[in-house]
Amino acid sequence: MCGRLSQYRGIHDFVAVLSIPDALINHVGDAPLARYNAAPTTALAVLHQQGQTLYADNLRWGWRPHWAKDRAAPINARVEKVAHGPFFRAIWRHRLIVPVDNWFEWVDDDNKTRQPWLIRRADQGPVFCAAIGQCPTPEAQARDDDGFVIITADSVGGMLDIHDRRPVVFRAALANEWLDPATPAERAEQMLLFEGESPETFEWHKVGKAVGNSRNQGANLIIQQA
């Protein structure tokens, strides 16, 4: 997890659920995002907070430190290592939320082909994925090495049938706490380890195999298949 996701509602729809009172500095626009099949290296809408101000920016999915240019930029970070390993040390305190509508996983079926599954909240509300990254700041323009990774944990319960890893997803109140720069790093780590949403929060269904090609876009990609 996770190698493909959807962001199709508008950024204001995501932010409204967070109920953050301060004004949003919106660099992604007001229209629906309409990203039904977003792949790694795609620029996605992320939320991050500077002081008391919430920002929405488009940021590349994938990041690596400057000394690791000889390897591909990871798109995910394991919760077991992210807070203490050297690879993500430079961005560990730079916390983001990646608001998505759903993500996709692939499972080998009886015909030895890979069947895509869509995973979303059972209430079909926004999915607030915990992430860290290197973002533009009010004082500096975007840089070529800006990017983010989504933090993942072991799957449990029925989600194990789909994939052995899952994003760490927060309910709205915890997403606010995660974004707040005043939240101590130790508290943030505890949130990741123990306070992510449980499998019962989610539902999943099969979708058509057209989602396997990241060039394909559109609402037909998220429709349940028999």
105 is catalytic: yes
Per-chain mean pLDDT for the chain = 93
pLDDT for residue 204 is more than 90:
yes
| Residue 125 pLDDT grade (very low, low, confident, very high; cuts 50, 70, 90) | very high
| Residue (of 50, 2, 17) closest to 167 by Cα position | 2
Active site residue 135: no
- Predicted pLDDT at 140: 67
Percent of the chain residues topping a pLDDT of 70: 97
Q: Which of 129, 124, 119 is nearest to 179 (CA)?
A: 129
pLDDT surpassing 90 at residue 109: no
Number of domains in the chain: 1
Catalytic residue among 80, 105, 197, 200: 105
Provide the residue range defining the domain that includes 176. Answer: 5-222
Give the CATH number for residue 134: 3.90.1680.10
Catalytic residue from among 2, 129, 139, 195: 2
Rounded distance between C-alpha atoms, residue 208 and residue 29, angstroms? 30
Task: Output the pLDDT for position 92.
Answer: 97
Confidence grade of residue 1 (pLDDT, cut at 50, 70, 90): low
Cβ atoms of residues 108 and 117 within 8 Å:
no
Nearest to 4 by CA among 116, 171, 107, 136: 116
Evaluate if residue 75 carries a pLDDT over 70.
Answer: yes
Confidence at residue 24, expressed as pLDDT on a 0 to 100 scale: 92
